[in-house]
Structure formats: C-alpha cells, structure tokens
Amino acid sequence: MDRNSAIGLTLIAALLLVYFYFFAAKPIPQEKIDQVIASQTAPLDSVKKSQIAQPTTDSAAIKQYGNLSAYLSGSESVTNIDSKDLSISFSNHGTIKNLELKNYKTYTKKPLFLVSPKTNSFALVGQYEGKEVNIYSLYYKAATSKIGDTTVVTFEANLDKGASIKHIYSVPASGFEVGYKIETNGLSGSLTGESLTFTWNDKIPLVEKDIHDSRTKTTINYYLAEEKFDGLSESAMELKTEAFAKPLKWIAIRQKFFINSIIAKNTFSGGEISTQGNERDSTTVKEANVKLFIPKADVLANKANFKYYFGPNDYRITPDVTKDFSLNLSLGWPPMIWINKFVIIPVFHFLEGFIGNYGLIIVILVIFVKLVLAPLSYSSFIGMAKMKLLKPELDAIKLKNGDNAAQQQQDQMKLYQQAGVNPFSGCIPLILQMPILLAMFSLFPVSIELRQKTFLWADDLSTYDSLIQLPFTVPFGFGSHISLFVVLMTVSQLIATWQNNQMSTVEGPMKSMGYIMPVVFMFILNSFSAGLSFYYLVSNLATFAQQAIIKRFVDEDKIKAIIEENKKKAATGTPTKSKFMNKLSEAMKASEEARKAADAKKKK
C-alpha cells in the first residue's frame, strides 16, 4: 500500500465513520427483544379507525342511508381460504381480516401475519345519496366459487331496484398476489362525488431480530402513472408525508424483507401517504398510512380492478408482479446496482440450486469474485513491488528536499518517469474493486435468501450474530453485543494491513493510518448482517492465499532489471513515459508555474 492508497483508504474510512455514526441503525439491546416479541400478542392500543361515522340501525339511520340500511347491522363472519403460500381470512365487511405467509416465520418462529385486526384497518369511503359512508362497514353476503385452480370469494349487497355492490377477491393456488375488484350495478344516481377514498392503516409489527435495523429499512414506496418510482425516507422516525395530485399505479408498504401493496389495473387518481415511528413503542416498527382515490367513473363502469401483493421482497418474484415493482429491493446506486443485478444475484441463485448451505455458498461466491478480479490483484501486487524497490531512492529524495514539498514531488515524478513506474498502479486496482465490495454492502443486509439461514454459531445470516452480550451499550453504532464474525474479520484485516505495510513506501503516521480502517469497519459491521461480515472474513483469507500464490510467480530481480533498463533509456533521452504520466507531469508543472506567478504577484 503506497501513500496514495493509504490516503484514499483513510478518506473512505472517515466518510464511512461519519455516515454510520449519524445514520446507522442503533440495535436494540438483546434483553429487550423477548419483551418486544411477547408484546406482539397484545392488541395495539389504537389501530386507526375511519373518521367517518359508522351507520347504525335506528330509524334515523334508515332514513339517512336509504336502501343501504338493510346491511348496516349484522354479525361478523369470516371466510377462510388457503393456498400454497397464503392463509387468508376474509371478513364479511368485504375486507381482508387476517393474512399469513405460510412458508415464513417471525424471528422467534411464530406465524408471520402481514395483515391482522391488531395491526391493519381498511376503509372505503364514498358519497352515497349525499352522505359519507364507509362501504367496508356494511355486512355483505359471502359466497365462494372456483374458476380453475383460483378460489373466488364474493361479498355482495343487493339493494332495491336491482342495484348492488360487490367486492370480489381472487386467490390463486400459489403465489402472493390476491385479485380484488369492485363491481356495482344501478348506483349511478346514488353514488355521488368524484371518487371513493380507500384508506389503509398498517402498524407494522416487529418480525425480525433488531427493531432499529427494521425501522431503517421500512418505508412506503410509490409508482406514478408517468412511470416514476420514489418513496418516503427509510431512516426517518419523524412523521413523513407526501400527497399526490397525479395518478398513481401502485403503493408498497415495504418492510426489510416483506411488502404489503395494492396495485391498480388503471390508476388511482391521487392520494396521500405517511410513515412515522415511535422509539417508545417496542412492538411496532413504524406506522404506515395510505389514502388513495378511486375514480367514481371506474367504480360505476366496473373498471375498479386491483390486486394486492402480500409477500417477500424477493428479486426472483417481484419483477413479475407489475412494472418496476422490483425497485422495492434497494440494491445501491450505480454501478453497485448493476453488479448486484447482473452478476452477484444470478450467481447466488445459481449456486442455491446445487448447495443448501448458505455459508458454503458465500465461500464459493468469494472464490468466484477473486477469480474475476485476479488480473487486478496481480497488477496491484506488481505495482506495490515496484514501489518497494524504489523506496530507498524515494527516501533519499525526501531527505534531500527537506520541507520543500513541491520540489520533492517533482523529483519523485522524475524518478517514476525514469523507472517507468506508475505511482498509482497499486491504488487503481483497489479503487476498481471498491464497487464490488460496496455492492455486497448493499445486498447482504436486505437479501431474503439469508433470512433465518444458520451457519456455524450464527442463527440468522441476515442479521448480526450476537454470540457475546455486553451489560452496556458501546457508542458509535457498536451496540450491546459482540459479533464474532466481525471480530475475526477485523483481526484478518489488521494482519492484511500489516502485510501490505511491509511492501509500502509510506512512513510515519500515514503508515499507522491503515490500521484505523479495520477498526472503523468493526464498529460499522457489528450490527450488520452476519453473512456480510462472514463474506469479508472469507475474502480476507482468500486474499492471503491469492497473494501467496502471486508471490511465487513474481520475480523481484526481474522487475528490478526492468526498472534499471528504463533508467538507462531515460539517461539516453528516450524515457519510458505513459500518457497518464505525461498528463500528470504537465499538470504538476502548470500548478508550479501558477504558484510561482502568484508569489511574484504578491511581491509586486
């Protein structure tokens, strides 16, 4: 590692430390987790109800709501439908009451519900004969039928003079999509206003190990009809809202690993969304509120067709849900998103088809990446070897020039040109590898493939391995636990830094700066995915092996002979000079001339 590499890594470390100090999730102490999970069995204090007054059956209500009055009272009943992936209970109010993902469990191995009366409430408010009414407050007649392997559940209210309201749900034999449409007949004179208002309140319960990590990955995303994807802030705990005057295609209440979404076949005419967290509430990740306007024209024309998606945020599934729905899985910024999308995820899924052990899959993934990057690693090693051979002469230049930094740089550049050495040759390959390392940093914490997958002492590779619990909380995002994978990764990185320093030309305090970055990463990664820290650990071990192999094929005497030959050519007037070195030399000369001109101007 030369001086430029050390400076670059130091700056990266500083930026990462600042970012994660202010924005990283702060893990909840382990001793509180059992209390959090246990408290989920208790009803939430205040599931939001529709602000529209619910109809009653007294004579005034009958007069007020006309032919709806027959459906204003009754007893609630449920219709249970099971598919391969979902277990759904429909209420005869025309809504989903419970929805369980059959093939997933909470962190404590309990049934995982994405909809329940304790966490969700729905309302569909419209103007009926000039009065506001929550259409989901009526008691409908339920019927079940089959169309092929799809189960159809219909909730119908038959009104006077052939008028009717229907809510029709379609549940396929497998998958995570549930069809939903509203059909009406004879309501053109009774249903007034421009739209019906669909509201959905979701108090998202904790289903993962770390509530703080879950909160920083929970938000509401949306997709406009003009094909624009966006969302509310993920990390914010304060109230975040956004209103829409433009048509929307879908909204998605996105958790760390799961999505609740409603998607319009046509569009919603507008709406409003909001999220808010409460640090004092250890049972709820965040509260999400959705308000969407369904055009009355679509309802009257029986074109109010939708579908729900209740399922995993899995890149193998979400692209088929609707256009750009896969954007709900955050894979980082370009070029990291391209690396994840077109390289890492396909390789990972390919290996899944043959190997059931996810720790072994990570090891093979490391080997694959190392093989792809082998030419860069070889180039970096050769560059550091060249710099090591030039170290005595660089030290002599430093001694000769003393505090004259400008002259020292010029003399160093001259030596590099004469020797035919690029001083950045050891740094550039490292920089080119950074997008891959950062791609893993984006992918592993949200990879549902790692969720609840065990390996060695880690009971869930998607979250941190808390092998050692501390009786106190360490600041700067470290938390109240120690991840053994992170400790081993840090030790291996410190050893790698020591090895690189043996070949480095850097001296003094800068040489010690290389040891800071592994410590910074220890604080950052201690509360991150165990799969990620295991990946970095294996990557470090693979680097040791790779360097040992490269060293066997590198002849330092031959490199030294080439450098000496380049110096002889330079002495005869034919120096070895790359385009990069030419430009760098010209830039340094221009900078020095500008400095001299500025000094001369000051003297005048």
Split at pLDDT 50, 70, 90, the class of 274 is very high
| Angle of helix 530-553 versus helix 428-443 axis, rounded to 10 | 160
Contact 297, 168 (CB under 8 A): no
Average pLDDT over residues 423-430: 64
How much is the mean pLDDT over the chain?
80
Split at pLDDT 50, 70, 90, the class of 372 is confident
Lowest mean pLDDT among 77-86, 268-277, 311-320, 429-438: 429-438
- Work out the number of other CB atoms within 10 angstroms of the CB of residue 351: 16
Nearest Cα to 362, choosing from 444, 436, 465?
444
**Residue 71: what pLDDT?**
79
- CA–CA separation, 483 vs 489, rounded Å? 10
* Six token digits for residue 81: 């439908």
- Work out the number of other CB atoms within 10 angstroms of the CB of residue 71: 22
| Dihedral pair phi/psi, residue 399, rounded to 5° | -65, -40
Q: Starting at the edge strand that comes first in sequence, how are the strands of the sheet with 131-134 ordered? A: 131-134, 120-128, 191-205, 284-295, 270-276, 240-244
Look up the CATH architecture of domain 53-330.
Distorted Sandwich (2.70)
- CA–CA separation, 204 vs 216, rounded Å? 13
Residue 430 clears pLDDT 50, i.e. is over it: yes
- Spell out the domain ranges in the chain: 3-26+339-568, 53-330
**pTM for this entry:** 0.76
Residue 51 clears pLDDT 50, i.e. is over it: no
* Top-confidence residue, 46 or 163: 163
Q: How far apart are the first and last CA of the chain?
A: 44
* Top-confidence residue, 417 or 435: 435
Could you give the 3-state DSSP secondary structure of residue 408? helix
